[in-house]
Amino acid sequence: MHVKRATISALLYLEWPAVINAGNCLSGFCGPRSETPLEGPSVWRVDGKPPDVIQKLGGFRAKGTDFSIHKHAEISTANSAYVSTSERPVGAEIFASEPPPPGDFRRKNYKGSWLYDIHPSSNFISTRKTLGPYSSHRAEAEILAAGGIPFDQIKGWTYLSKGRMTAKSERRYVRNSAYDKAKYQGQTWNPEPQYELAGFPKKMDKANPRIPREHPWTHKEYEAFKDQSAEELREAGLRYLNDEGKASGIASFEPCFGLNGRAKREASSCWLGEEEVVEPEVYTKELDLGGKTEGESEVVLLNPAEEEKAALLVEKAAEDELAAVASKLLLRESPKLKDISLKEVRARFIGYKPLQPYMKTSRGRLWRGLTSAFTAVGLASWLKDVVQVSATASKRIDKLTTVTSIFPLVGCGTAVARSKDAFSGTLCLVGDVLLFTPKWPVGVAVHLFRFLAEAAKQSLRENMLWHDEAEFQKIRQKEWDAVFDNLVGYFRSNKFRNEVLEPEFDAERHGYAVQATDSVGMLRAMQQTAREKDVKGVPTDEQVFNATLHIYQHMCSSLLKRKESIMKEKQQAAEEFVKAEMKRFDLEFGNRTLDIFVNRTRPLLPTFVLDKQDLKYSQGGLTRTSKEEDHVPKDELVSTIRERLKKPLSYDMQGTFRDIQRHSSHLTYCRVQDAQSGGADMNQGRNASLLIQYQRDTDPIDHIAEAPPGRELAPQNGTPRRQPAAPNPETPRARTGGRQRQRVPVGRRRGGL
C-alpha cells in the first residue's frame, strides 16, 4: 500500500479554506434553478473558494515555475506551474469533503465546496499519458493545466453544500456569464504525452508497489531526458506554454514568470491571491529513517471493529504524547491557558477550521489508506508520508496568525492587521484595555486637544493662530504628538508583552505541539496495531523513533521561525493602528476646529459634524482679518479646514519597533538534542520527546519603555508611576523622553497614510 503524496498535499491545497467567507452561496453565483450545462469537452475541479473570489483572482493561477509533472502528481510542490483538474466530476469530488456528523462542534463552520466545469485547451496535459506506468493514481484521470486557468475558460459551477455527499436533487448548475465560448470553440486537452515535462528524479521511490521498480529512464520514452537539468526542464515548460498557451490566452495571463524565462515576481506574491496560503515545500521522499523493515510484504486488512480500536489507540497515544511534550515545552505554565485541559486544547485545535485540511488528511486519508492495505513496504512508505505531512503542516501554522482565536481569552491575534477593515475603531488585541476600545478618544489620549482647549478660551478676534496656516499646522502636530505617545505607549510596555504577545505565542506553541503529537500518535498506534496483527514488515522501534525525531525537529524549527515572524507582525500591527488612528484624529481635530469657529466653544463630547447639513453660518471664519468680519459660509470653512488636513503629519515608530523586538526576545521556543547526546540507545519504546529542550534567547531584556511626557506607564512592581507633565504649549516640542524626535513625513518608509 502506498498513500499518494500528491493526494495529501492536494487535499491540503484544495480544501484549504479561504480567509474570506468562501462557503456562502452568493447571489448571482448560485441560481435558484439549475441551468443546463454547456456542451463541449469539460474537465472538473473542486475548490473551496466561491466564483466571485476566483473571478477577482482572474481564474485559477498556478503557484510557480516548477514544470515537473511527476513532482506535482506524486510529491506535490509549492512551486508547481500546474493547476489540477480531473476528466470526470467524480474524480474531482474526491476533494469535496463532506460535513462533520450532527453534534460535532465543527459542523457550524462547515462551508461546502464548489465544483467547477472548465473547458480544456491545448495547454492541458494528461498526467496518466505523460507518466505512463509511473502514474500511481491513474484512476483519478488527472489533467494538469499548465500555467493556470483564466476565468473566461470556466463554463459554470455547482455549489456542493454537503461536499461530495450533496444529493443530485440539491445541486444547481450555474453558467458562467463570462465564459468565452467562441474563444475556446473546438479546443480540448492535448492528447499527446509530454515526456519532456515528466521531470523524474534520479532516485525513485522503490517502496511504491503501484509503479515499476526499474527507473523510468530505462524506457525509451524517457531515456532522452536522463540528463535533463532543472533549468532545461523549466525552459521546456516555458516553450510549451508559449506554443500551447496562446490559443487560450494563458501566455498573457500574468504568470509569475515571463516567457523569456525570467521571473517577474516571487511566486508567493503574484500567482496566489493575498488571502491564499502558500503551501511550503517539504521534501522527505528520500528520508532515511534507519533500520531494516522486518519481514516481507503481505496484505492484512482490518475489519471495522479493528479500525475503531486502532482509532482509539491513535487518540490515546496522541494525548499521552501531548502531555509529554507539554511538560518539556512548559506549556502549562501559561497563566491564561493553564486552566484549559490539554484534552480540551487538543479538541479545539483539531476542530479549528484552518487546521482541518491537515487534520482531515493525516487523521483521515492516511489512516484509511493504512487500514485498507496493511503491507510491509506500505507501512515504511506511510511512515515517510506522516513525517512529510507533519512537516508541511508545521510550516502551514506559520501562516495562521488567527490560530489564537480558538482561545477567546487570548485575543484575536494579529491577523486583524492584515484586514483592510482591521482598524476601523478598535485594535482587537486585548479586549479589556480601554486603549483599544471604540470609546476613543475618551480613553486614548489624556492630553487630547489640550492645545485646542486653551485656544478656545481666548477670543477669536484676539487670537490669530487659526488664521495662520503655519500656526494651525503647528498646533495640529502638537495635538497629534500627544495622541501618538499614548497610542504607542501600550505596545512599548510590559503589559503588552505579558497580556498579548506571550499568551498569543503560548497558544500557538500549543498548536504546534498538537499537530506534531497527533502525527506521533498515529505512528505509535500504527506500530502497535501491526504488531497485534502479527504483520510482517512492521517498522522497527528505531524507524518510529527516527520518524518521531524528524517530526519534533520540524516542530521546533517552525516555532523558531514563528517567533521571528510574530515580532514583525506586531510591529506591523502597531504601525497600522497608528495610521488608522491618525485618520480618526484628523477627523476629530477638524470637527473641533470647526466648532470653535461656529460656536466659539469647546464641546464636552466629541461631535462629528463635517457632513451635517444644518450648521449655521459662522460669524467669522478662516478668511477673517483683524480689521474686518466676513460672512463665511460653512461649506467654504469646511473646505478650507479639509484642505489643511491634507498635509501629512509625522511620527517615528522606531522606538516602538525596538521595544516590540525586546518583548519578542522573551518568547520561548525549543530545540531537539542530537539522538546520540541523549545518552540512550534505541531501546524499545524510547520516546523522542525526551530530547526536546525549551529555549529562550540569552540575556532577555526586562524592559519598560520610557514613556513620553504626560503618559501613565504600565505598573511596575505594583506601583503606577506618571511621567512629568507635557511642556508648555508655547514652547516648541522638540524632545520626547529626553531624545530628539526625528520628523518623518507620512508616506515615507517609516509610516503615514
Average pLDDT over residues 56-71: 85
Residue 156 has what pLDDT? 95
In this predicted structure, the answer to whether residue 681 has a pLDDT above a threshold of 50 is no
Model confidence pLDDT, tens digit, residues 412-434: 333 333 333 332 223 333 222 32
What are the cell numbers at 433?
484595555
Cβ atoms of 691 and 678 closer than 8 Å: yes
What are the cell numbers at 508?
500557538
Q: How far apart are CA 558 and CA 398, in angstroms?
A: 7
DSSP state of 396: H
Cβ contacts of residue 215 below 8 Å, gap of 6+? 200, 204
Cβ contacts of residue 22 below 8 Å, gap of 6+? 48, 49, 50, 53, 111
Q: Which residue has the higher pLDDT, 600 or 645?
A: 645
Q: How far apart are CA 403 and CA 358, in angstroms?
A: 14
Structural element, H or E, at residue 159: strand 154-160
Domain segments of the chain as ranges? 5-270
Q: Which residue has the higher pLDDT, 490 or 277?
A: 490
Model confidence pLDDT, tens digit, residues 323-356: 888 888 887 766 666 667 777 766 666 654 444 4
Residue 277 has what pLDDT? 33
Q: How far apart are CA 61 and CA 81, in angstroms?
A: 9
Residue 29 has what pLDDT? 53
Cβ atoms of 641 and 593 closer than 8 Å: yes
Distances (CA, A) of 150 to 19, 109, 372, 724: 22, 30, 39, 62
Distances (CA, A) of 742 to 454, 654, 657, 736, 745: 26, 10, 15, 10, 10
Cβ atoms < 10 Å from Cβ of 693: 13
In this predicted structure, the answer to whether residue 481 has a pLDDT above a threshold of 60 is yes
| Pairing of β 124-126 and β 142-146 | antiparallel
Q: Which residue has the higher pLDDT, 603 or 532?
A: 532
Lowest mean pLDDT, pick from 62-76, 272-286, 500-514:
272-286
Average pLDDT over residues 476-493: 81
In this predicted structure, the answer to whether residue 158 has a pLDDT above a threshold of 70 is yes
**How big is the chain by its Cα radius of gyration, in Å?**
31
Q: Which residue has the higher pLDDT, 563 or 207?
A: 563
Per-residue pLDDT band for 306 (boundaries 50, 70, 90) equals low
In this predicted structure, the answer to whether residue 104 has a pLDDT above a threshold of 80 is no
What CATH homologous superfamily does 5-270 map to? Heat-Labile Enterotoxin, subunit A (3.90.210.10)
> Helices 654-664 and 541-599 meet at what angle, rounded to 10?
150
Residue 314 has what pLDDT? 77
What are the cell numbers at 280?
511550503
What are the cell numbers at 212?
515499476
Cβ contacts of residue 405 below 8 Å, gap of 6+? 352, 412, 413
What is the average pLDDT value for the chain, to the nearest integer?
65
What are the cell numbers at 277?
496560503
Cβ contacts of residue 271 below 8 Å, gap of 6+? 61, 62, 63, 64, 148, 255, 256
In this predicted structure, the answer to whether residue 466 has a pLDDT above a threshold of 70 is no
- Of 154-163, 259-268, 393-402, 486-495, highest mean pLDDT: 154-163
Per-residue pLDDT band for 699 (boundaries 50, 70, 90) equals very low
Cβ contacts of residue 521 below 8 Å, gap of 6+? 314, 315, 316, 317, 318, 319, 320, 321
Cβ contacts of residue 64 below 8 Å, gap of 6+? 77, 78, 79, 80, 81, 256, 257, 267, 271
Residue 197 has what pLDDT? 93
Provide the whole-model pTM.
Answer: 0.46
DSSP state of 218: G
Comparing CA positions, the residue from 95, 94, 63, 91 lying closest to residue 77 is: 63
In this predicted structure, the answer to whether residue 363 has a pLDDT above a threshold of 80 is no
Q: What is the secondary structure of 81-147 as a DSSP string?
A: SEEEEESSHHHHGGGSPPPPPTT-GGGGG---EEEEEE---TTEEEHHHHHGGG-TTGGG-EEEEET
In this predicted structure, the answer to whether residue 176 has a pLDDT above a threshold of 90 is yes
Residue 712 has what pLDDT? 34
Q: How far apart are CA 411 and CA 3, in angstroms?
A: 39
In this predicted structure, the answer to whether residue 544 has a pLDDT above a threshold of 50 is yes
Helices (DSSP H) in 196-278: which residue ranges? 220-223, 230-244, 267-270
Comparing CA positions, the residue from 189, 4, 194 lying closest to residue 95 is: 4
Q: What is the SS3 assignment for 381? A: helix
In this predicted structure, the answer to whether residue 443 has a pLDDT above a threshold of 50 is no
Distances (CA, A) of 132 to 145, 194, 222, 224: 18, 11, 10, 16
Q: How far apart are CA 207 and CA 318, in angstroms?
A: 27
Q: How far apart are CA 320 and CA 314, in angstroms?
A: 10
Per-residue pLDDT band for 85 (boundaries 50, 70, 90) equals very high
Q: How far apart are CA 648 and CA 588, in angstroms?
A: 16
461 burial level (CB within 10 Å; 0-12, 13-18, 19+): exposed
Distances (CA, A) of 336 to 303, 420, 700: 44, 29, 22
Average pLDDT over residues 692-701: 66
Cβ contacts of residue 224 below 8 Å, gap of 6+? 195
What letter represents residue 607's amino acid?
A: T
Average pLDDT over residues 97-120: 82
In this predicted structure, the answer to whether residue 722 has a pLDDT above a threshold of 80 is no
Q: Using DSSP, how many helices (H) and how many strands (E) does the chain show?
A: 21, 13
CB environment 711-735: b (16+ within 10 A), e (fewer):
bebbeeeeeeeeeeebeebeeebee
The residue length of the chain stands at 753
Cβ atoms < 10 Å from Cβ of 169: 7
